[in-house]
Structure 1
């Protein structure tokens, strides 16, 4: 993948967000300091960065596609109240794979989305 200043800005925006921004959120944040940046450029570059393994797409039913810089194998917890997406260690749901293995299944990959109320919203 060829270097471009805009691609670097977009990648750094996702990394610095420490979250799971949508393309629109990345665009809105970068547009403030880069007025010539277009939404199409953000979408194209996020897609390219995902295809090249520099970002991950996060697909949540009923939500726009989000992107993250955490490339480790993990799952997500979504707060039903504030809609925050929190990365959770894959080991927290390994029991499912072990249970299925005991029933003769061979799990090759999984992505679990847990929902509930986060610590902050419970206060």
Structure 2
């Protein structure tokens, strides 16, 4: 993701009358630079040296604000820690069952599933989510030969 996306996020916060603190900007910047879908703890650990007085609660509070403004998505998966994604357009995730790596992929044809679901069920659909599970290339390469 680029600097342009970060600037749009900063503008969204300004529009929502959210004051930009150095910690808030650092958390936002980290989210837009990483593609790892970090947990709040991951973000805290990455920034604790730069901001030794910042607490994990500060990270969680800022993520909540970012979520409310619509500039990050929370990804609650099977484990107890949600992950956060600064890519908010329609996309899907493939998740490694071994190491937990999450990778984005886009498949626009699946967006039509909402229209089909509405037609078949008469529900008013507002979103959908799809996850694919497997082993990432790094974990596959660690497997002993012949398994």
Normalised by the length of structure 1, the TM-score is 0.84
Query: In structure 2, what is the Cα distance between the partners aligned to 1:93 and 1:120?
Result: 28
Corresponding residue of 1:70: 87
Higher strand fraction: Structure 1 or Structure 2?
1
Q: CA deviation at 1:84?
A: 0.3
Classify 1:92/1:19 alpha carbon distance in 2 versus 1 (closer, same or farther; 3 Å): farther
Query: In structure 1, what is the Cα distance between the partners aligned to 2:102 and 2:80?
Result: 12
Query: In structure 2, what is the Cα distance between the partners aligned to 1:8 and 1:65?
Result: 21
Corresponding residue of 1:109: 127
Q: In the alignment, which of 19, 34, 37 is matched to residue 36 of structure 2?
A: 19
Q: CA deviation at 1:46?
A: 1.0
| CA-atom RMSD in angstroms | 2.2
Query: In structure 1, what is the Cα distance between the partners aligned to 2:99 and 2:51?
Result: 29
Q: CA deviation at 1:47?
A: 0.8
Q: Secondary structure at the match of 2:92?
A: strand
Query: In structure 2, what is the Cα distance between the partners aligned to 1:63 and 1:77?
Result: 18
Q: In the comparison of the two structures, how many residue pairs are matched?
A: 123
Corresponding residue of 1:121: 139
What are the ranges of 5 or more consecutive residues in structure 2 without an aligned counterpart? 1-17, 142-147
Task: Decide whether the 8 Å contact of 2:114 with 2:127 is kept in 1.
Answer: no
Q: CA deviation at 1:108?
A: 3.5
Normalised by the length of structure 2, the TM-score is 0.72
Classify 1:74/1:63 alpha carbon distance in 2 versus 1 (closer, same or farther; 3 Å): farther
